[in-house]
């Protein structure tokens, strides 16, 4: 009887190294963090997630700063608003994306439009349907608008996104379906304009070409992935479409199945390019620098994968009542080499010019001796300057016991 063939094995340390290099965390952070350098970084990541929480800095700014310490928040707007090299839309969440990817993401617009056509009229009613053309006409004639410009008298009762006034719903509908684009933000408020005035006329590609690019681009940025992880990367292809693509690429010899060793020694089957294991073995070790990461960093965005690879369990606790929080309101992960070594609760008090560090929790098995504390102090000084404050202040019980 023939023994079943074993799949090639990517050991955990090598998997972490490959994964971090693909996420631009595998080399010493350097670069101007603006212009062509910044665009190249975002292109390599695929996109950066946008989030409104600003206890220290917004998520996209933290993601870019972790890889380019010279980066400052003002460096991003020229690429979006002046050069039109980036645009804002949805992947798995709101994100900033290189504009050359726009033709492939138009598949999402078409699919979102089909879903919205079935659902949104029932949600918003006849007022929403009537508003769509009025909003199109208004923007075509008057130029970019924000939702406040169109706010109707009947919308004064609005209490949140589930109760948008009709013109706000119309703007979001037209943006999600690709007719409108976000032309700029002012104090985080979105301004919309016709897509052709912002980005010209993006090429319309067949669905098959879009799906091939989306799955291939996702794999290139992950290094290895299950079909479900490929589908989740852009959140456009369905799991079935990603699975079919993997089968087709394996049959053509452009992909292979391998086993990924988890941090607990367990194995997880994944797809990778031929040569990925050899690539991982040849990559340099991740630098020893300690870095503060955003909770939405692309390396940690898939919480389950982060737990499998790094043994790092992270959950956002913003909506958890304070008394029930395990850690804090908005806690920042700490990475050293290829390990997650802790999490820190801190907030920038810009009026006082102080970065207040409330608590540090080492990961299990990690101690903070003199050397690591010096690394942390250096990183917190860099973070403070990035946040626009002058000094770092530590709470009385800031160093917690490891859990």
Q: What is the pLDDT along the chain (403 residues), one digit of tens a residue?
A: 344 468 999 999 999 999 999 999 999 999 999 999 999 999 999 999 998 899 999 999 999 999 999 999 999 999 999 999 999 999 999 999 999 999 999 999 999 988 888 776 666 666 666 678 888 998 999 999 988 887 643 344 444 433 456 677 788 889 999 999 999 998 888 999 999 999 999 899 999 999 999 999 999 999 999 999 999 999 999 999 999 999 999 999 999 999 999 999 999 999 999 999 999 999 999 999 999 999 999 999 999 999 999 999 999 999 999 999 999 999 999 999 999 999 999 999 999 999 999 999 999 999 999 999 999 999 999 999 999 999 999 999 898 776 6
Separation between Cα atoms, residue 138 and residue 132, nearest integer Å: 10
Residue 356 lies in a domain: yes
Residue 174 lies in a domain: yes
Separation between Cα atoms, residue 333 and residue 189, nearest integer Å: 28
User: Residue 136: which H helix or E strand, with range?
Assistant: helix 126-142
Residue 373 lies in a domain: yes
Residue 358 lies in a domain: yes
Residue 403 lies in a domain: no
Residue 312 lies in a domain: yes
Q: How many domains does the chain have?
A: 2
Task: Assess contact for 389 and 346: CB atoms under 8 A.
Answer: no
Q: pTM score > 0.85 for this model? A: yes
Which tokens go with 234? 């852009």
CATH code at position 364 = 3.40.630
- Domain residues for the domain of 370 are 290-394
* 302: nearest Cα among 241, 222, 363, 360: 222
Contacts of 81 (CB under 8 A, 6+ apart): 183, 184
Q: What is the pLDDT of residue 168?
A: 78
Q: What is the pLDDT of residue 162?
A: 39
* 60: nearest Cα among 27, 85, 93, 82: 93
CATH code at position 195 = 1.10.10.10
**Which value, to the nearest 10 degrees, does the dihedral of the CA atoms of residues 240, 243, 244, 245 take?**
120
Residue 138 lies in a domain: yes
Residue 135 lies in a domain: yes
> How do 354-362 and 391-394 pair as beta strands?
parallel
Task: Assess contact for 287 and 337: CB atoms under 8 A.
Answer: yes
**Which value, to the nearest 10 degrees, does the dihedral of the CA atoms of residues 203, 206, 208, 211 take?**
30
pLDDT tens string 194-226: 999 999 998 999 999 999 999 999 999 999 999
DSSP string, 340-376: EEEEEEEEEETTTTEEEEEEEEEPTT----HHHHHHH
Separation between Cα atoms, residue 32 and residue 65, nearest integer Å: 11
If one counts every other C-beta atom within 10 angstroms of the C-beta of residue 266, the result is: 11
């Amino acid at each position: 009887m023939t023994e079943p063939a074993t799949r090639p094995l990517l050991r955990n340390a090598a998997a972490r190294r490959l994964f971090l290099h693909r996420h631009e965390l595998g080399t010493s952070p350097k670069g101007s963090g603006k212009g062509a350098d910044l665009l190249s970084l975002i292109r390599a990541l695929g996109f950066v997630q946008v989030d409104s929480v600003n206890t220290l800095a917004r998520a996209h700014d933290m993601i870019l700063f972790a890889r380019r310490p010279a980066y400052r928040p003002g460096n991003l707007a020229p690429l979006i608003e002046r050069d039109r090299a980036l645009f804002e839309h949805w992947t798995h969440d709101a994100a900033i994306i290189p504009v050359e990817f726009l033709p492939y993401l138009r598949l999402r617009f078409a699919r979102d439009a089909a879903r919205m056509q079935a659902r949104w009229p029932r949600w918003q009613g006849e007022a929403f349907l009537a508003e769509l053309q009025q909003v199109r006409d208004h923007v075509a004639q008057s130029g970019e608008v924000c939702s406040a410009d169109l706010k109707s008298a009947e919308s004064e009762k609005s209490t949140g996104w589930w109760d948008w006034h009709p013109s706000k719903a119309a703007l979001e509908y037209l943006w999600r379906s690709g007719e409108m684009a976000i032309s700029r933000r002012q104090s985080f408020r979105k301004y919309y304009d016709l897509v052709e005035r912002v980005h010209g006329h993006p090429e319309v590609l067949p669905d098959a070409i879009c799906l091939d690019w989306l799955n291939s681009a996702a794999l290139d940025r992950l290094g290895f992935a299950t079909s479900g992880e490929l589908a989740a990367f852009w959140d456009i292809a369905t799991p079935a479409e990603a699975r079919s693509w993997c089968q087709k690429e394996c049959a053509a010899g452009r992909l292979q199945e391998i086993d990924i060793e988890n941090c607990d020694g367990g194995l997880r089957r994944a797809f990778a390019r031929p040569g990925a294991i050899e690539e991982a073995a040849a990559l340099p070790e991740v630098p020893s620098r300690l870095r503060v990461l955003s909770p939405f960093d692309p390396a940690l965005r898939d919480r389950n994968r982060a737990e499998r690879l790094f043994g790092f369990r992270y959950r956002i606790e913003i909506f958890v009542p304070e008394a029930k929080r395990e850690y804090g309101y908005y806690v920042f992960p700490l990475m050293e080499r290829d390990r997650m070594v802790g999490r820190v609760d801190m907030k920038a008090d810009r009026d006082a010019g102080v970065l207040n560090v409330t608590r540090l929790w080492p990961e299990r098995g990690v101690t903070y001796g003199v050397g690591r504390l010096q690394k942390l102090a250096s990183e917190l000084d860099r973070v403070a300057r990035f946040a626009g404050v002058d000094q770092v202040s530590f709470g009385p019980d800031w160093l917690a016991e490891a859990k």
